[in-house]
Amino acid sequence: MKNYISFRDIENLEELISEAIELKKNNSASGLGKEKTLGMLFFNPSLRTRLSTEKAAKLLGMEVMVMNADKNGWALEFEDGAIMDSTKAEHIKEAAGVLSQYCDLIAVRAFPNLKDREKDESEQVMNSFKKYASVPVINLESATGHPLQALTDAITISELKKSQKPKVVLTWAPHPKALPQSVPNSFAEIMQKVDVDFVIANPEGYDLNPHITRDVKVFHNQEDALKDADFVYVKNWSSYENYGQSPEVDKNWTFDAEKLKGTNNAKVMHCLPVRRNVVIADEVLDSDNSIVIHQAGNRTFAAQAVLKRLLENKEN
């Protein structure tokens, strides 16, 4: 693996999932990352991604440097040929080049602005780091994807499934803010690569990018989709069609105990942070069906498996 910008950078997904589960079982410290440095740049807040990736790097023996790039860094210019006479003090060409002098791996989080779909889909920040850094780049959640989260989710389902081919439902839920489509995009992509029966439930107007969902069945009736579900992944996202908007929904899509009853005693997933009693009801989050904490715990092993692959590739 040369970079981890999308889960498509994984050469053998099944192998990587098994390796992450193995790392979880036998997580002794490794010297692979000795005298190597991971630099993490955050243009947006984070709890899980930041701490799990730092922990994963340290388990591999790496040094870690973290920067809240939105608050502490110079404002970056990403446009080629820009005349930089306004607020942007540093061009990505220099910033990525300089970071590559200090770091062996660079990890970046940069959310979309949810205003200009074409611009968000160009993944300008992530692709610019990839273009101008001379070391591997890792996506810590970008405009359109969250591949470390998706790998975690695939690991969690593989670890906890009780049948060879479980039914997995990704269901939309309400949220007071318009959120990116990054997590559901990456989850929908990775679920199409593993052995599950995968469907999506969302209100009309909230269909994800059809180039991502492809042939996945999309229900506009949540109850129908949830029938016989073994895993339910609850997540809000803003509209792709009316890009970044949150059109009103006539029914209640909050995932509560009544919805859970319509499943096959499903395990309930969410990437976190979760708005209690808006996205998922207390009675579900506090029940044995909720695996959100277990899922967040697996972030470390997903990150460790990815960092390990990138370091191994650098050595070869």
Residue 28 to residue 188: CA distance in whole angstroms: 32
Contact status: 48 vs ligand CP (CB under 6 A): yes
Single-letter residue type at 120:
D
* Residue (46 or 124) nearer to ligand CP, CB: 46
Closer to ligand CP at the Cβ: 23 or 292?
292
Q: Pick one of 3, 49, 246, 298: the residue that binds ligand CP (CB under 6 A).
A: 49
Between residues 47 and 257, which has the closer beta carbon with respect to ligand CP? 47
Question: Is 269 or 271 the residue whose CB approaches ligand CP more closely?
Answer: 271
> Total binding residues for ligand CP by CB under 6 A?
9
Decide whether 6 or 149 has the Cβ nearer to ligand CP.
149
The CA distance from 53 to 10, in Å, is 17
- Choice between 142 and 149, CB closer to ligand CP: 149
Coil, strand or helix at 92: helix
Q: How far is the CB of 19 from ligand CP (least distance, A)?
A: 21
| Cβ closest to ligand CP, residue 42 vs residue 129 | 42
Structure tokens at 155: 């690991």
Closest residue to ligand CP, judged by C-beta, is 49
For 118, residues 6+ apart whose C-beta sits below 8 A from its C-beta are none
Please spell the DSSP secondary structure of 168-199, one letter per residue: EEEEE---SS---SHHHHHHHHHHTTSSSEEE
The CA dihedral of 251, 252, 258, 261, to the nearest 10 degrees, is: 70
Q: What is the pattern of x (binds ligand CP, CB under 6 A) and - over residues 285-314?
A: ------------------------------
Binding mask 66-105 for ligand CP (x = CB under 6 A): ----------------------------------------
Q: Please report, as residue ranges, which positions from 129 to 148 form the binding site for ligand CP (by CB under 6 A).
A: 141
Cα separation, 35 vs 43, in Å, equals 26
Work out whether strand 197-201 and strand 90-91 pair parallel, antiparallel, or are unpaired. unpaired
Structure tokens at 220: 């506009």
What gap in Å lies between CA 151 and CA 18, rounded to an integer? 11
Outline where 10-47 has alpha helix (H). 13-25
The region of 4-12, 46-54, 73-81, 117-125 touching ligand CP under the rule CB under 6 A is 46-54
Query: Could you tell me the smallest distance in angstroms from the CB atom of residue 43 to ligand CP?
Result: 12
Give the one residue of 100, 128, 144, 149 binding ligand CP; rule: CB under 6 A. Answer: 149
Least CB distance from residue 312 to ligand CP, whole Å? 25
Please state, as a whole number, how many other Cβ atoms lie within 10 Å of the Cβ of residue 216.
16
Candidates 185, 284, 273; CA nearest to 237 is 185
* Residues in 247-276 that interact with ligand CP by CB under 6 A: 271-273
- For residue 200, the cross-strand partners are 170, 218
Nearer Cβ to ligand CP (271/281): 271
List of residues contacting ligand CP (CB under 6 A): 46-49, 141, 149, 271-273
